[in-house]
Amino acid sequence: MTDTGDRSQSASGEAVASNSDAGPVEEINGATGPVSGAASDRPNPNPHSEQPDGTQPKKRRRRRRRRKGAQKTGDGAASASTPPLETTPKSEPRPQQQAQPHQTSGSREPQVYAAIDLGTNNCRLLVAKRSREGFRVIDAYSRIVRLGEGLAANGRLSEEAMDRALAALKICAEKMKRRGVTRARSIATEACRTAENGPGFVERVKRETGIELDIVSTADEAQLAVGGCAPLLDPGHAAALVFDIGGGSTELMWVHHEGKPKPEVLDWTSLPCGVVTLAETYGGDTVSPDLYAEMVADVSARLSLFKQRLAERECLDERFHLLGTSGTVTTIAGVHLGLKRYDRSKVDGAWVDLSDVAGVTKTLLGMSLSERAAHSCVGQERADLVLAGCAILEAIAAAWPAERLRVADRGLREGILFSLMEADQTRGQGGRRRRRRRRRKPKSNQTASPAEGQSRV
C-alpha cells in the first residue's frame, strides 16, 4: 500500500478478481465475437453435386418439393410484407445469440475499468480505458483518510477514521457510476487486514456505497505492486528490488526481468511497518537525528531475515537497481528536482542517485514541522510522515546498496488495471482457440463414428 498517496489523478494517461463496485458491472463471458451459428447452417462445399446417374439424392429432392409447395401456398402474402431485397423473412434470434459478446479494445464501446486502493493512509481511485500503450486514464481521485490512525495502539479502526474513508469511497462510487464503469476491483490492505473490526467496516462500505472491498493478502499486494511498476524496470539491469512503503506495511520484492517476457518475483517479504505506524511509535512532528537513527535501526532489524534469505538463495545480481513506489519516494524526488509544484510527469520514472536521497533526507531533518508542511512537495498532510518514510528508505538502501533509485508514481491501482485487462484478453484468446479446436477436421487415419461426426458438425 502506498503511504502518503501518489498524485497521479492529474495524469492524462499512459494494468482474477471479481469484486465489483458501484455502477453497472457487466458479467464477462469467454466469447469474443458473435455467437456461432448452428452447425447445420454451414454451407455445403458443393451444393449442386449429383449422383453418378445424374439424379439428386432423395433427401434433396424431398426438400425441393417442400420448398415449391411452400412458395405456391404463401406467395401472395409473402410478396406483400417482405422487403424487395429479402426473399426470406428474418427469424427471431435465439436466446444465446442475444448475449452481448465480450468487449475488446476493438469494440465500438470498450470496457471502462476502475481500480480502488484503500490503504492505511490513502484512498485512491483510477478509471481507465484500454489503449495501444496500455491504458488511458479518464478519471482519478486521491484523498488522505488515515484509516489506520491509532490502529497500532488500539487494534481497531476508529469511528472518525472510518467516516473519513467512507466519505472518500462515496466520491469514488459516484465517479465510477458517472463514468459507466463496467469492470472494477476494489482492494483494502494492511489497516483492514489487521484491524479487529476490519471485516465489519468492509460490510458497512458495501451497505453504504455499494463498493465490495477485497481485503487482499500481503502476497497479492506485492504482486499487484510489481505489476503496476513493471514498465519502469530498466532493461539495462538484470534485476531490481521493488519496494512499496505503505502506511501500515512495507512490501519488498526481488524481481528478475532479464530475458523474460514478464518480470519474475524470485522472493518477497512484507514488514508490518509503514510510515503511519513508525511515526506513531517514534513521533513524526519533531524528529531529532538520534530519533531518526532509532527508526532506521528498527527497520534494519526487520529487514535482516529477508536479506539473509536472498543471500542464501544466491538470487542477488550485481546488475540491479532500486525501484520504489510510494509517497515517500515521490516526495523525495520532487524535493530533489526543486519543483515549485509537484509534477507527476517529471517525477514518475525519474532516476535519483542514493547520495542525492541522503541529501534530501538531511534537508528535511533540518526543517521544523511547519517548514516541512509549507514545502510544495511535502504539504500539511505529509509533514509528520515523510521522515518516517525516509528512515524506511534509508534502511532499504543500506541493506541493498545500489547506485540509483528509480521513482514510480504508480503502484497498486495500475497493477489492478493491468490484471483486469490481461484477464479479459486471455479469456478472449481462449475462446478463439476453443472454437478453432472444434472446427479441426479428424486426421485421415482416424475414422469417426456417426455420433462423433454429429458432435463435430
Q: Residue 328 pLDDT > 60, yes or no?
A: yes
* Residues across the chain: 457
Q: Could you tell me if 131 and 8 lie in one domain?
A: yes
Q: Residue 151 pLDDT > 60, yes or no?
A: yes
Could you give the CA distance from residue 92 to residue 176 in angstroms, rounded to a whole number? Answer: 35
Q: Residue 297 pLDDT > 90, yes or no?
A: yes
Q: Could you tell me if 125 and 194 lie in one domain?
A: yes
Q: Could you tell me if 256 and 344 lie in one domain?
A: yes
Could you give the CA distance from residue 389 to residue 373 in angstroms, rounded to a whole number? Answer: 15
Q: Could you tell me if 192 and 279 lie in one domain?
A: no
pTM of the model: 0.70
Looking at residue 416, its pLDDT comes to: 96
Q: Residue 37 pLDDT > 70, yes or no?
A: no
Closest CA to 329 of 347, 341, 303: 347
Q: Model confidence at 59, in pLDDT bands (50, 70, 90)? A: low
Q: Residue 27 pLDDT > 50, yes or no?
A: no
Ranking 201-210, 212-221, 245-254, 434-443 by mean pLDDT, the lowest is 434-443
Q: Could you tell me if 277 and 130 lie in one domain?
A: no
Q: Could you tell me if 278 and 391 lie in one domain?
A: yes
How confident is the model over 63-117, as pLDDT tens digits? 666 665 555 544 444 333 333 333 333 333 333 333 233 344 444 578 999 999 9
Please check whether residue 342 lies inside any domain of the structure.
yes
Please check whether residue 457 lies inside any domain of the structure.
no
Ranking 55-69, 149-163, 341-355 by mean pLDDT, the lowest is 55-69
Looking at residue 441, its pLDDT comes to: 52
Looking at residue 306, its pLDDT comes to: 95
Looking at residue 451, its pLDDT comes to: 38
Could you give the CA distance from residue 59 to residue 80 in angstroms, rounded to a whole number? Answer: 31
Please check whether residue 114 lies inside any domain of the structure.
yes
Q: Residue 12 pLDDT > 60, yes or no?
A: no
Query: Domain containing 371: what range?
Result: 226-410
Please check whether residue 420 lies inside any domain of the structure.
no
% pLDDT > 90, the chain: 61
Count of the separate structural domains present in the chain: 2
Cell of 449: 463414428
Looking at residue 261, its pLDDT comes to: 80
Q: Could you tell me if 380 and 351 lie in one domain?
A: yes
- Angle subtended at Cα 67 by Cα 62 and Cα 68, rounded to the nearest 5 degrees: 100
Q: Residue 257 pLDDT > 80, yes or no?
A: yes
Q: What is the mean pLDDT of residues 429-451?
A: 49
Question: Domain boundary at 369, 388, 410, which?
Answer: 410
Looking at residue 173, its pLDDT comes to: 97
The b/e string for 397-427 (b: 16+ C-beta within 10 A; e otherwise) is: bebbebebbbbbbbbbbbbbbbbbbebbeeb
Closest CA to 121 of 285, 299, 327: 327
Q: Residue 411 pLDDT > 70, yes or no?
A: yes
Looking at residue 134, its pLDDT comes to: 86
Q: Could you tell me if 275 and 351 lie in one domain?
A: yes
Q: Model confidence at 44, in pLDDT bands (50, 70, 90)? A: very low
Q: Model confidence at 338, in pLDDT bands (50, 70, 90)? A: very high
Q: Model confidence at 146, in pLDDT bands (50, 70, 90)? A: very high
Q: What is the mean pLDDT of residues 408-415?
A: 94
Please check whether residue 13 lies inside any domain of the structure.
yes
Looking at residue 259, its pLDDT comes to: 77
Looking at residue 132, its pLDDT comes to: 85
Q: Model confidence at 313, in pLDDT bands (50, 70, 90)? A: confident
Higher-confidence residue: 265 or 457? 265
Q: Model confidence at 133, in pLDDT bands (50, 70, 90)? A: confident
Ranking 347-351, 401-405, 419-423, 439-443 by mean pLDDT, the lowest is 439-443
Q: What is the mean pLDDT of residues 375-392?
A: 94
Q: Could you tell me if 279 and 212 lie in one domain?
A: no
How confident is the model over 182-233, as pLDDT tens digits? 999 999 999 999 999 999 999 999 999 999 999 999 999 999 999 999 999 9
Q: Could you tell me if 211 and 231 lie in one domain?
A: no
Q: What is the mean pLDDT of residues 283-291?
A: 94
Please check whether residue 89 lies inside any domain of the structure.
no
Please check whether residue 132 lies inside any domain of the structure.
yes
In CATH, what number is assigned to the domain containing residue 119? 3.30.420.40
In CATH, what number is assigned to the domain containing residue 392? 3.30.420.150
Question: Domain boundary at 161, 191, 217, which?
Answer: 217
Q: What is the mean pLDDT of residues 374-393?
A: 95
Q: What is the mean pLDDT of residues 371-396?
A: 95
Please check whether residue 376 lies inside any domain of the structure.
yes
Looking at residue 69, its pLDDT comes to: 58
Q: Could you tell me if 270 and 148 lie in one domain?
A: no
Q: Residue 238 pLDDT > 60, yes or no?
A: yes
Cβ atoms 23, 177 nearer than 8 A: yes
Looking at residue 66, its pLDDT comes to: 65
Q: Could you tell me if 112 and 156 lie in one domain?
A: yes
Looking at residue 316, its pLDDT comes to: 66
